[in-house]
Amino acid sequence: MLGESTMISNKLKLAITCSLLMSSMTMGSGAFAADKAIETGSQIKEFVYLDKELDRISQVSASTPDGTRDGHLRLLMDAGEGLDIQSITLRTADSKGNETSQGIWKTWKSEAGDIGTLLAVVQDGKSINETFQAKLGTFQGIVEFELYASDNNGMKPGVYYYLEMVTSSGIMRTPITPYAENETSYAPVAIREFSWLDLTSDHTGIAVFGKDGTTDGHFRLKLNFAQKTEVVAVILRATDEKGNEAPGIWRTNRAGVGWLLGIAKGDTVITPGFKNDVKEPVGTFQGSGVFDLYANNNGSIKNGQHYVIEVETTYGTVISKPVKFGDPASNYVNVNPLGFKSIVLTLDAITAFVDEEQHTLDVAPFTLEGRTMVPIRFIGEALGAKVDWNGDKNLVTLTKGDTKVELVIDQSQAYVNGKQVMLDTPAIIRNGFTLVPVRFVSEGLKMKVFYDEGEILITDAKVLAVK
């Protein structure tokens, strides 16, 4: 008995993001790299390369960006009744699983001279290792990790990756997974306009916003933020017509080389200078906004040169297509409807937002065995799915388009289009309402889930990266 059939009152908040179509939740079919370790691969449910969008870590710190986008991977495993994980190492391979030594990333360096850069491990939005550490911890049941590896030129098309994990059960190896780039961005922001304006303005210097007696390249950037969104950095790059980098870079922080990118919104200066802390955001924005961008001209801003703008948020990065300075036909303008669905919930709170419309939930989301549980009928109907309940079988069925998700109360097995998958935590009934793990049901319906200090964002936005 779902009891939630007509109660779609919830507190959700809209957010546009570019959705990741969930890859299979069963074990990957790639070859296993190497043969020497103890084979316990039956515990590996999924290992996949997701994207290279965010600059979240450096080569030694999980909380300090370094100006280089990180490889982002996901590991889903069954830790059984208890598994100690000492360390995880990410290695490169060819398509047959043979190691290629194009990069190595680790959670632990055992001694001085041990090669490798940091592999950061995140569970439910929280970092497990801020830097290299001797033990990651003890884990039980279905465990999902997000992994981040700062690119050292080993993150590129044609390269495959696998993990070695030193555990209390021996050394575990994953199947290999290929490098991947998404055609969509997760960021809840759309570029509505990116255009060049003039070469005669003087508003910024190379490190401080303000006139310095030299001219700037002047651009306009119009953004649409579907929900309150933290912008981590904005970067202007010179490129060729295909988007390949050329000399010239302007940015809002010092997480890499480049001069200051001056940003103003009307009379308000957004970037008076470089942020002292590379983690300090540009700001938090919501709705539509038009920004003037000023880049002190070091000689590389000129008619005929192409430029792209990158807007990095805590959810991902959106990148414009190359715009040719001096060519009006090259300016990018997008007035098409966004066309997406987004939901925002908060742990232990009954207020939620669906596309910025406030709702009141019948039961608040809560954490059970480390997994976030949400009311299935509200989530399903808010996501546009049909929700059915079979009381004789204790079966919940969600149908959206060509996707069918089936769950049985108190069972760890579920089905997506007839294929069995393992749940992090079984569906349960509490106070007459059925609750399910949010990540499984959302991604089973081809949505993307984000966590941010108790706030949960679910979206099916598919905003193509503008290229």
Nearest alpha carbon to residue 199 among 303, 84, 90, 80: 303
DSSP code at position 378 = H
pLDDT in tens, the chain (467 residues): 444 333 323 333 323 233 332 333 333 333 433 333 334 434 888 899 988 877 889 999 998 888 788 999 999 888 888 899 999 999 999 999 999 999 999 999 987 778 999 999 998 778 999 999 999 999 988 788 999 999 888 888 899 999 999 999 899 999 999 998 655 555 667 899 999 999 999 999 999 999 999 999 999 999 988 767 889 899 999 999 999 989 999 999 887 789 999 999 999 999 999 977 777 889 988 777 899 999 999 888 999 999 999 999 877 788 999 999 999 999 999 877 665 677 888 899 999 888 767 899 999 999 887 788 999 889 888 878 899 999 899 999 989 888 898 989 998 888 989 988 877 788 899 888 889 888 777 777 777 777 766 788 887 655 444 44
Token pair in block for residue 170: 């021996």
Token pair in block for residue 379: 């989530």
- The rounded radius of gyration (Å) of the Cα atoms in the chain is 23
**Per DSSP, which regions of 187-305 are E strands?**
189-201, 216-239, 245-251, 259-265, 268-269, 283-296
Task: Say which residues have a Cβ less than 8 Å from residue 221's Cβ, sequence separation at least 6.
Answer: 191, 193, 194, 234, 290, 291, 292, 293, 309, 311
CA distance 404 to 189: 29
Helix (H, G, I), strand (E, B), or coil: what is residue 194? strand
The alpha carbon dihedral of 102, 105, 110, 114 has a sign of positive
CA distance 56 to 88: 19
> What's this model's pTM, rounded to 2 decimal places?
0.54
Domain 41-178 shares a fold with domain 342-459: no
Nearest alpha carbon to residue 296 among 213, 196, 193: 213
Residue reference for tokens 């299979």:
24
Q: Is 237 exposed, middle or buried (0-12, 13-18, 19+ CB in 10 A)?
A: buried
Nearest alpha carbon to residue 436 among 347, 386, 372, 353: 372
User: Domain limits of the chain?
Assistant: 41-178, 189-333, 342-459
Fold type of domain 189-333 = Immunoglobulin-like (2.60.40)
Nearest alpha carbon to residue 412 among 371, 445, 366: 371
Instruction: Return the CATH number of the domain spanning residue range 41-178.
Output: 2.60.40
Fold type of domain 342-459 = Copper Amine Oxidase; Chain A, domain 1 (3.30.457)
